[in-house]
């Protein structure tokens, strides 16, 4: 009888483990089309099962293992499918990328898959075509410059 009581006491005081935090990649902003191989210029991340009062550092690592972008978000924000995304621009490079959740305040210097501080992670491939050759700003300046040049040439011929 005392063993039964001891067993009940152990079971009653043992916390039920929650689901592990998750990160998953999608190719659309509604996060309905799962994707792990990107040829488009934006990756969208869906997250879930993070501890609510905790803050997490989310880091995007590029194919070379360099920190491309990071944000600190609460577990509640992550569970509400925060707008985690990365828009590929130069000098981003193709390769195997990683989106990794770490505890708040932890700042690794490079990506290490064996890091014991990783809370959740997703891996995805970025193809060369996903990275635009020119940013929107450079393209806009180039178009404006060409228009100005055509205007100047036309103006000189009219005189």
What DSSP line would sit under the chain, residue for residue? -HHHHHHHHHHHHSPPPPPPPEEEEESSTTS-SB-SEE-SSEEEEEEE---TT-EEEEEEE-TTS-EEEEEEEEHHHHHTT--EEEE--TT---EEEEEEEEETT---SS--TT-TT--EEEEEEE-GGGS-SS-HHHHHHHHHHHHHHHHHHHHHHH-
Domains of the chain: 19-134 (2.60.40.1930)
Whether the full predicted model's pTM is greater than 0.85, yes or no, is no
Per-residue pLDDT tens digits of the chain, which is 159 residues long: 665 555 555 555 545 556 889 999 999 999 999 999 999 999 999 998 898 889 999 999 999 999 999 999 888 888 876 678 999 988 899 999 999 999 999 999 999 999 999 999 999 999 998 888 765 666 677 778 888 888 888 878 776
């Amino acid at each position: 009888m005392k063993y039964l009581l001891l067993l009940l006491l152990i079971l009653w005081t043992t916390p039920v483990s929650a689901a592990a935090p998750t990160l998953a990649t999608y190719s659309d902003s509604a996060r309905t089309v799962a994707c792990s191989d990107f040829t488009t210029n934006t990756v969208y991340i869906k997250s879930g099962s993070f501890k609510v009062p905790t803050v997490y550092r989310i880091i995007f690592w590029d194919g070379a293992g360099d920190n491309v972008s990071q944000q600190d978000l609460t577990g509640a924000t992550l569970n509400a499918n925060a707008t985690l995304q990365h828009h590929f621009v130069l000098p981003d490079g193709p390769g195997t990328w990683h989106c990794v959740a770490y505890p708040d305040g932890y700042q690794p210097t490079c990506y290490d898959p064996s890091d014991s501080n990783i809370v959740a992670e997703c891996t995805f491939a970025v193809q060369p075509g996903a990275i635009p050759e020119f940013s929107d700003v450079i393209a806009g300046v180039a178009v404006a410059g060409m228009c100005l040049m055509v205007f100047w040439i036309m103006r000189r011929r009219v005189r």
